[in-house]
Amino acid sequence: MPSLTTLFTTAIGLPAALWTFKSAMLVAFQRRIIYMGYSPVGARTEELARADELKSGMRITKISAEVARGVRVDGLEAASGAHSPQTPILFYLQGNAGNPLSRLPLFARILGVSSKGSQISKSSSSSMRIIAFAPSSYWTSTRRAPTQPRLLEDYAAALRRTHQLYPHAPIILYGHSLGGSIATLLCAGRSGSGDLCSGVHALILENAFESIPAMVKAYFVSPKVPYYHLHPLVFDKWDALGAAKDVQVPTMVLVSGDDELVPREHGLALHNALPRSRMHVIPGALHENAYSKPSWPRIVTAFVSECVKCQSDNPNTQQNHHT
């Protein structure tokens, strides 16, 4: 019969060893968890086809930007209706999975077109261009291990390319989830690539989070859960909350009322930290489907139109209200 010492050592040591192993794996492979360019299956090999254009009712073009020698990011330009060199651009930064093709329903919704290409909205959204790049390791962009500095480098190059293509167009950054953190850091000048936001008129954050360490604590809920204490070991902090104070453009924070991933408190904290912010809660929306709710296109297009019209006349206007 095992001794009491053996039983005690097994009872304590085995769970401790399992926790240590699982914690080590979470820390070692955290970037595989955060940056899911491989998900869903086929996301990296899916190609833009004529069927996508017909289905979405938009004119869709594949575009590319050179990041560095041998490194390229690919993206989409989507539009509907007539345009001019001054047509506003919604520069979309995606979340941590999928590719720009999976966002076509969202783009069609904001451009106000049906699946047959007919206009379903009389808002000014139809006179907008949408540009959405996939960072490296996502979609058909160059495969390289994703990190915070590399994703910032990718989107800085994509934004420069957008400026080159449309030097006279006002640009509105729209970041969803992880893309919201990237957009915030770009607007705050944390990319290390100089002033990229001189042509950026506004920022929209949808279901953005404070930081990755804050998400670790939110996910594991309580300090009583051992994994809660792994948050200091995060490699890529994506500290949007810390950068928010340096964002000088008008910002709208969108929060899904029933977001199952990002706590509403994160959106409220960002709203309070941003100097020129307004906040809207989308009732009944989950983390990924806010665009499908009736209020979403109206709120977004009204904000874009207001910023494009008023920014040049009132560059120092301060906004901070919550609806």
Which residues are paired to 251 by β-bridges?
203, 277
Domain for residue 20, yes or no?
A: no
Mean predicted confidence (pLDDT) in 65-70: 97
> Per-residue pLDDT for 316 more than 60?
no
How would residue 15 be classed by pLDDT, with cut points 50, 70 and 90? confident
For residue 308, the model assigns a pLDDT of 86
- Of residues 140 and 10, which shows the higher confidence score? 140
Number of structural domains in the chain: 1
Which comes out higher in pLDDT, residue 6 or 23? 23
pTM metric for this prediction: 0.91
Q: Is residue 305 part of a domain?
A: yes
CA distance 135 to 232: 26
For the segment 181-234, what is each residue's pLDDT rounded down to a tens digit? Answer: 999 999 999 877 666 667 799 999 999 999 999 999 999 989 988 899 999 999
In-domain check, residue 151: yes
pLDDT band with cut points at 50, 70 and 90 for residue 158: very high
Domain holding 124, by residue range, is 35-322
Tell me: the pLDDT tens digits for 38-54?
A: 999 999 999 988 667 76
Residue 56 covered by a domain: yes
CATH number reported for the structural domain that contains residue 181 in this entry = 3.40.50.1820
Residue 289 lies in a domain: yes
> Residue 301 has what pLDDT?
94
139-166 core/surface letters (b: 16 or more CB in 10 A; e: else)? bbbbeeebbbebbbbbbbbbbbbbbeeb
The predicted-structure confidence for 161-184, as pLDDT tens digits, reads as follows 999 999 999 999 999 999 999 999
Q: Dihedral angle at the C-alpha atoms of 73, 35, 171, 128, nearest 10 degrees?
A: 90
Residue 6 belongs to some domain of the structure: no
**pLDDT score for 4:** 74
pLDDT-derived band at 80 (thresholds 50, 70, 90) equals confident
Q: Please report the pLDDT score of residue 318 as a whole number.
A: 44
Average the pLDDT over each of 4-13, 125-134, 256-265 and give the range with the smallest value.
4-13
- 7 within some domain: no
pLDDT reported for residue 31: 97
Structural domain contains residue 314: yes
* Cα atoms in the Cβ-side hemisphere of radius 13 Å centred on 213: 13
Starting at the earlier edge strand, list the strands of the sheet with 251-256.
59-68, 71-79, 129-134, 89-93, 171-176, 200-206, 251-256, 277-282, 320-322
Token pair for residue 85? 């060199």
Mean pLDDT of 90-95: 98
